[in-house]
Amino acid sequence: MANYHETQSPIENHGIIGDMRSAALVNDRGSVDFFCWPEFDSPSIFCSLLDTPDAGIFQLAPDLPHARRQQIYLPDTNVLQTRWLSDGVVVEITDMLPIGDSEDDLPVLMRKVHMTVGRATFRMRCAVRHDYARAATTARQDGDHVLFEAAQQPTLRLCSDQAMTLDCHAAMAEFTLEQGQTAEFLLGGIDDPRLTSDASAICLERTLGFWRGWIGQSTYRGRWREMVNRSALALKLLTSRKHGAILAAATFGLPETRGGERNWDYRYTWIRDASFTVYAFMRLGFVEEANAYMRFLRGRVSDCCDQPIKLNILYGLDGRLELPEVELPHLSGFGHAQPVRIGNLAYKQVQLDIFGELMDAVYLVNKYGEAISNQGWKHAVNVVDQVCDIWQDKDVGIWEMRGEKQHFLHSRLMCWVAVDRAIRLAVKRSLPAPFARWDQTRQAIYEDIWTNFWNEERQHFVQRLGSTALDGSMLLMPLVRFVSARDPRWLSTLDAIEKDLVRDGMVYRYRNDESAVDGLSGIEGSFAACSFWYVECLARAGRVEKAQLEFEQLLRYANPLGLYAEEFDSHGYHLGNTPQALTHLALISAASFLDRKLSGDKTHWQP
């Protein structure tokens, strides 16, 4: 494919639309440049975000080269509007994936142009490219419609109230609208009835009603309601309606290092995000979403009753275990960042911290949601017994290092959380448990961390045994209640993190020059979730004024729609896959706690 990138939009210049089965990215020039169909993790049909328009794109825009462009969401929804403002001309394009009547309804991309003021000529080009642009897609006329076909791939149908032609196996249209006139384009499965009936108005009404009805249940009434609600809406959009699992992000291949090799596929669900997901949904009053996610997690261990439970690091949204990693060398990558990968080899890794995140989620749901079943408790006992056996083992840590296994502080910390939460739950529910063994293990892990991961000379905790490096994951130590947020040793560690890992509120996971275990080349950006953990740590330490300032600065790094990717570069621009669930989860947690501190609420909700 052509090796040019003038058509690629910055990561932060995108909005996302979705129907909880799939999602598409729309840039502020009116192009859908990323869309996997029909599932979140299906092969892409539009992938120009990672290459050129040759990889698939749906362009729709007025001929207004000097217009100002804006993107907004229709209030309290995931329905996106892109606007062009010029002398005497205002144009709006509304994009959505309508919420279907059934979880099995195939996604339909609906695009509606409205000529608000003046007169303009529009150009449309829809180039479907099946299977990550690996399959030879042909376009053919079918009456007034256009069909996109490829061998062993689903056929898609494009409908419009405007005349379309074909060029290079793409659908083309050029039309002029006067003030008050509209045009529509609908793309979906070949036999979808919503493409052949006048259903768009009803679909829009139902979709607006769904999103507004859902977010209207939020119990958050704090200072940052708009940003918290947008984060919640993004998380709901990334949640599988059918399975209850939540994606780490909607995309694959967007780089953590500009032009580098740190390019991963995040269209899966990570066990690690479990407790963060449950906490965020519970905190906002969305108990059913938290319960649904836990039902998904329970399904991963339901067949392991008579043998040790094998927890994967991540799963497909349908629960599948194997996610083989494949490179796509025909895609030149976002900003030449290669290789572009699909699948994720992390599913083969050993990461001991996931037991802690799982048990923390189990504990939270039992405290505020559904009580654990007898079978569920047997699974929990199985998990904690494993932790008692393996907590001293080496692993690759929270950041999924691709070097040699190490003894990581965060892995020890979350093993402690696993045992601690199990003991608390057993006591609260009067459940049978090997209390003596569990308590002995909990104490042993506690002593191990304080003895072996505290560096007396440097006066801070360290990332791993044999190292003096700091790590952004240490910010979770007070958040999971392992250490008091005002303990002198913790405050000394927080000061060290501020000095070494924090830049204008943006927190790096670690410094590459100090963490050769990374196994990758290049220096990545700062990690957005760590940045919000840092804010919460400041607030819990009583540094409320500083926490508020840092939080407000971080809010300015969101894109104009209030969305965040995984990381920030040195200028605060977005890096990595987007929108990143963990970032939005951390934002909700920080906003909730900081708002309570500023309000002087001493009886706040506690996990």
Residue 522 pLDDT greater than 70, yes or no: no
80-86 vs 68-73, strand pairing mode: antiparallel
Token pair recorded at residue 272: 């690690």
> Which band of pLDDT confidence, cut at 50, 70 and 90, is reported for residue 3?
very low
* Most confident listed range (157-166, 296-305, 393-402): 157-166
Query: Considering the entire predicted model, what is its pTM?
Result: 0.95
Cis peptide before 38 (omega within 30 of 0): yes
294 in the same domain as 432: yes
Please state, rounded to an integer, the average pLDDT across all residues of the chain: 93
323 in the same domain as 267: yes
287 in the same domain as 201: no
pLDDT tens-place string over residues 549-594: 999 999 999 999 999 999 999 999 999 999 999 999 999 999 999 9
Which of 173, 198, 214 is the last residue before a domain boundary?
A: 214
Closest CA to 96 of 214, 244, 171, 205: 205
371 in the same domain as 287: yes
Long-range contacts of 336-339 (CB under 8 A, 24+ apart): 336/5, 336/259, 337/253, 337/254, 337/255, 337/257, 337/258, 337/259, 337/260, 337/261, 337/263, 338/261, 338/263, 339/261, 339/263
**Mean per-residue pLDDT, 496-511:** 94
**Mean per-residue pLDDT, 443-461:** 98
Q: What is the pLDDT of residue 350?
A: 87
196 in the same domain as 70: yes
The dihedral formed by the CA atoms of 272, 562, 555 and 275, expressed in degrees to the nearest 10: -20
Counted domains in the chain:
2
64 in the same domain as 27: yes
166 in the same domain as 110: yes
**Mean per-residue pLDDT, 118-128:** 98
Angle between helices 581-599 and 544-556 (to 10 degrees): 140
144 in the same domain as 97: yes
> Which band of pLDDT confidence, cut at 50, 70 and 90, is reported for residue 385?
very high
Q: What is the pLDDT of residue 304?
A: 53
Give the CATH number for residue 200.
Answer: 2.70.98.50
Burial class (CB in 10 A: 0-12, 13-18, 19+), 258: middle
Q: What's the rounded Cα separation, in Å, for the pair 152 and 130?
A: 10
Residue 302 pLDDT greater than 80, yes or no: no
257 in the same domain as 342: yes
pLDDT tens-place string over residues 399-409: 987 778 999 99
90-94, 292-296, 586-590: lowest mean pLDDT where? 292-296
Token pair recorded at residue 594: 């900081």
Q: DSSP letter at 353?
A: T
> Which band of pLDDT confidence, cut at 50, 70 and 90, is reported for residue 311?
confident
544 in the same domain as 477: yes
Residues 6+ apart with CB under 8 A from 62: 84, 89, 91, 120, 121, 122
* Chain centroid offset of residue 334 CA: 18
Q: What is the pLDDT of residue 1?
A: 35
Phi, psi (5° rounding) for residue 92? -130, 135
- % of the chain surpassing 70 pLDDT: 95
Residue 325 pLDDT greater than 80, yes or no: yes
203 in the same domain as 234: no
Angle between helices 354-368 and 409-429 (to 10 degrees): 30
Helical ranges in 16-96 per DSSP H:
none
- Give me the domain span that covers residue 310: 217-599
Burial class (CB in 10 A: 0-12, 13-18, 19+), 198: exposed
Residues 6+ apart with CB under 8 A from 257: 337, 522, 523, 524, 525, 575
**Mean per-residue pLDDT, 378-406:** 92
In this structure, is residue 2 part of a structural domain? no
Q: What's the rounded Cα separation, in Å, for the pair 564 and 577?
A: 9
Token pair recorded at residue 573: 């621009």
Tell me the residue type at 449. Answer: I
pLDDT tens-place string over residues 327-376: 999 999 999 999 999 999 999 888 999 999 999 999 999 988 888 999 99
> Which band of pLDDT confidence, cut at 50, 70 and 90, is reported for residue 148?
very high
